[in-house]
Amino acid sequence: MRYSNLDVIAIFAATVLAFIAVLIKLPTLIVAPLGVALFVATGYVWTETLLDRPIGGLERAVVAAGLAMIVPVLGGLVLYALGVPLSPPSWAGLMATAALGGCAVLVIRRRIGALPPRSESSTLTATPIRACALFGVAALVAAGAVLLAREGAAHQHYSGFTQLWISPDGSSDDLVGVTNHESGTTAYRLVIHQTGQENSIYSLTLRQGATWTHAISSGNRERIVADLYRLPVLSRPYRYVDTSGSSS
């Protein structure tokens, strides 16, 4: 039985368009539907390739969605093991490779006659509209889950931190430093306590990633304690360093 490869051509075109859209960073309104099409195409082509018997619409939709989900799960592990950044182009390339690879295998199987002819009375042939509708619903649900997970990862908040240290600068002085990694501009008050001296107070406003340093005389290597407050909280130090050995 001769198979028409119009579906393979359509999958090839959708895959290439989706990959290019991600690669050149087209607007989300364009990339999102093409991404859904790429997901659906991957599930469809591998369902066609691997199934040796005709099945009904609902079962076929579930199998296709499952096969499509396997690609990012296993492929993501492979990319991570290879040290490839898990970026949108990487995911698009992974899905595109799976879809195009499935197209190649499907065309070969059809040419050598490895796929059995479908029965004219099969459920899928008898009810194409229902099968397509169920498949579309399953694809939309799966695509929605992927988009939701991506949105959640993009907006996930990671707590920042501030680094405070005191270290010798190679002379009789010590170098005190503050680095801001709080994901935004932050105001501090730094109070330095030295034995037999008045406290030194510094007001700092640091941008994200900025570092402030200052050399302080250590005299005869007396104990130095630095208390850093993150404004407006002045009731307790946010960070402190003690040259006697303790820090936080």
Q: What is the pLDDT of residue 205?
A: 92
Residues 106 and 181 in one domain: no
Q: Work out the angle at residue 26's Cα, subtended by the Cα atoms of residues 25 and 32, and round it to the nearest 5 degrees.
A: 105
**CATH code for the domain in which residue 233 is found:** 2.60.40.10
Rounded to the nearest angstrom, the gap between the alpha carbon of residue 245 and the centroid of all alpha carbons in its chain is 40
Residues 177 and 86 in one domain: no
Residues 167 and 147 in one domain: no
Instruction: Average the pLDDT over 30-57 and give the result.
Output: 80
Percent of the chain with pLDDT over 70: 72
Tell me: pLDDT of 37 over 50: yes
Residues 88 and 173 in one domain: no
Residue 147 lies in a domain: yes
Q: What is the pLDDT of residue 62?
A: 76
52 and 110 in contact (C-beta within 8 Å)?
no
**1 pLDDT tier (thresholds 50, 70, 90):** very low
- Name the domain boundary from 118, 135, 154: 154
Q: Is 80 helix (H, G, I), strand (E, B) or coil?
A: helix
DSSP 220: T
User: Domain of 210?
Assistant: 161-242
Residues 206 and 235 in one domain: yes
189 or 127: whose pLDDT is higher? 189
Strands (E), 122-172: 161-168
- Name the domain boundary from 84, 119, 154: 154
Cα(14)–Cα(99) distance, rounded to whole angstroms?
Answer: 10
Residue 120 lies in a domain: yes
Residues 130 and 167 in one domain: no
Residues 10 and 130 in one domain: yes
Cα(14)–Cα(37) distance, rounded to whole angstroms?
Answer: 7
Residues 84 and 203 in one domain: no
Residue 247 lies in a domain: no
Q: Is 229 helix (H, G, I), strand (E, B) or coil?
A: strand
Q: What is the pLDDT of residue 179?
A: 93
Q: How many domains does the chain have?
A: 2
Residues 145 and 22 in one domain: yes
Nearest to 200 by CA among 173, 161, 168, 170: 173
Residue 1 lies in a domain: no
Residue 248 lies in a domain: no
Residues 54 and 170 in one domain: no
**188 pLDDT tier (thresholds 50, 70, 90):** very high
What does the block give as tokens for 102?
């499935």
pLDDT tens per residue across span 195-226: 767 788 999 999 988 999 988 876 666 778 89
- Name the domain boundary from 116, 139, 154: 154
pLDDT tens per residue across span 86-137: 888 888 889 999 999 988 888 888 888 755 555 444 444 444 554 555 555 5
pLDDT tens per residue across span 151-187: 555 555 556 889 998 887 656 678 889 999 988 899 9
